Amino acid sequence: MNPFDVETLRRSLDGAALTPGDPGYDQGRAVWNGLIDRHPAVIVQPSGPRDVATALATARNSALEVAVRGGGHNVGGAAVADGGLTIDLSSLDQVVVDPGTRTARVGGGARWQQVDTATQGHGLATVGGTVSDTGVGGLTLGGGFGWLTNQYGLTCDNLLSAEVVLPSGDVLRASDTENTDLFWALRGGGGNFGVVTEFEFRLHPVGPVVQVGLFFWEEDRGAEALRHMQGIIESLPRKAGAIIAALNAPPADFVPEEHRFRPGYALLLAGFGPEPEIADVAQQVRAGLAPLFEFTTPMPYVALQQMLDETALPGVLAYEKALYLDRFSEPVITAVTERLPLRNSPMSFLPNMFAGGAFTEVADDATAFGGARKPVVLFSIGAFANDADLLARDRQLARDLWDAVAPHSSGTGGYVNFMTDYEDDRVRASFGAAKYARLARIKAHYDPENLLHRNPNIKPALAPA
């Protein structure tokens, strides 16, 4: 953009337009993955929907690639494009809770730590991510797994309405009674259809204190531990959440000093029901296979939501691949236990979230979410490092492990929020043929030019001859 164009844009905004050299520009282009270092031509920080519409019109008229930055947590760096226009929604981060109706209106640039803090002030919560720095927008639009999924489904299952700025500049609300096709598509179809400036969520009574347990087995007993943990999650109470992880033991106070940084496998449990219920699960864990060490404690719900933050600190170099498993079958266990000892970076790990209960009670076609509504393990392979060479080696390891596990997974697709590479065939496979075709028709209606394509992209359906 030339200076005249930039000044014209600035005069048309109530918010800000930042270009290289402006204060705040580097902060506005920074994303969570330290591997991403891109320089947009301009970053628009809108004050509301009208500014978003202006930014979209500017991008179209100036032939600038559009990126939308919510929390900036997408591993592939979809929020920024070299020489493009980034709409940075961080200025739209308000959270307004109505405890009477158990609802919350959340700005498109808010992060889950803001939502959790505001809602827990009233003893309420909705399904959020497992890292509190994650943006609300990206998580919700791609589906949204969290500790509460077993009780209340996905984040998108708890979306009541959304304020959306279309690529045309029109602003509308989508819900079960307004623009219902768009509302269906927003719940799992990603940021393909418009820029969401406000979400309205259903809230549930949660906390303020929950029960948390961590059980750790050393690497040598990995196969036994994975079989045992699979049995535990199959009978998990509805008011509980579970993550099966392969990781190095953290250097935390609750870890015996001789086991800190030790590679192994862990079961993380969170209980939201009566304390004896989760205590019974903990006893089943101990009785089936005694852990190397364990830690159980009551914890504020907000602290649970921040418990894994240190596994994904901003600035880490990251790569991720994921897919769905029906269970940890013997071939999967063999693939994992043979390859995990080959990790190069102690930061690389596998967080695998179980989803059952309420997640399975939503019809497959009720939302655009790309995954079967049956009990699943969201199998994620995270290569993380502070060194580019270490990351490169663990990135290859992640790809090799994914290739080994894929034949034993639930289909060839995966969870769109955990994609680093948006391969067209995997995006299509993630939604399935029928759902993808429906999304493509909706895309053709709301974004026929595919202006919003930095995402798990849905190609607009061709108009009939």
Domain ranges of the chain: 3-90, 95-205, 209-418
Q: pLDDT digit string (tens) for 227-237?
A: 999 999 999 99
Q: Which of 385, 392, 400 is nearest to 339 (CA)?
A: 400
> What number is the average pLDDT over the span 106-127?
98
pTM, two decimals, is 0.95
The residues, ordered by sequence, that sit 6+ positions from 304 with a Cβ below 8 Å of its Cβ are 147, 210, 212, 270
Q: What is the mean pLDDT of residues 419-439?
A: 89
Q: Region 370-395: what's the mean pLDDT?
A: 94
C-alpha 244 chain-centroid distance: 17
Look at residue 79 and tell me whether its pLDDT is greater than 70.
Answer: yes
Query: Does 463 score more than 70 pLDDT?
Result: no
Mean pLDDT of 456-461: 95
Query: Residue 286 contacts by C-beta under 8 Å, 6 or more apart in sequence?
Result: 215, 294
Q: Which residue has the tokens 């029960």?
A: 211
Q: 64 pLDDT exceeds 60?
A: yes
Residue entry with tokens 């699979």: 230
Q: How many helices (DSSP H) and strands (DSSP E) are in the chain?
A: 14, 18
What is the predicted pLDDT for the residue at 77? 92
pLDDT tens digits, one per residue of 201-237: 999 999 999 999 999 999 999 999 999 999 999 999 9
Top CATH class of 3-90 equals alpha beta
Predicted local distance difference test score (pLDDT) of residue 465: 35
Q: Tell me the mean pLDDT in the region 19-25.
A: 96
Q: Which residue is listed with tokens 């959790």?
A: 116
Number of residues written out for the chain: 465
Q: Which residues of 50-69 are buried (b: 16+ CB within 10 A; e: fewer)?
A: bbbbbbbebbbeeebbbbbb
What is the pLDDT of the chain when averaged over all its residues?
94
Confidence check: pLDDT of 162 > 60: yes
Tokens of 390: 């270490």
Per-residue model confidence (pLDDT) at position 1 = 59
Instruction: Report pLDDT for 464.
Output: 46
Element (H, E) at 318: strand 317-325
Q: How much is the pLDDT for 233?
A: 96
Instruction: For the chain, give the percent of residues with pLDDT over 90.
Output: 92
Q: Is 422's pLDDT higher than 70?
A: yes
Instruction: Please give the average per-residue pLDDT across 69-82, as a whole number.
Output: 94
- Which CATH architecture best describes the domain 95-205? 2-Layer Sandwich (3.30)
Tally Cβ neighbours within 10 Å of residue 405. Answer: 22
Q: What is the pLDDT of residue 112?
A: 97
Distance of CA 43 to the CA centre of its chain: 23
Q: How far apart are the first and last CA of the chain?
A: 38
Phi, psi (degrees; rounded to nearest 5) at 124: -125, 165
pLDDT of the residue at 3: 64
Residue 4's CB is within 10 A of a number of other CB atoms, namely 8
Amino acid at 147: W
Mean pLDDT within 253-272: 95
Looking at the domain covering 209-418, what would its CATH class be?
alpha beta
The pLDDT value recorded for residue 362 is 97
In this predicted structure, the answer to whether residue 117 has a pLDDT above a threshold of 70 is: yes
- Cα separation, 168 vs 447, in Å, equals 8
Check whether 118 has a pLDDT greater than 90: yes
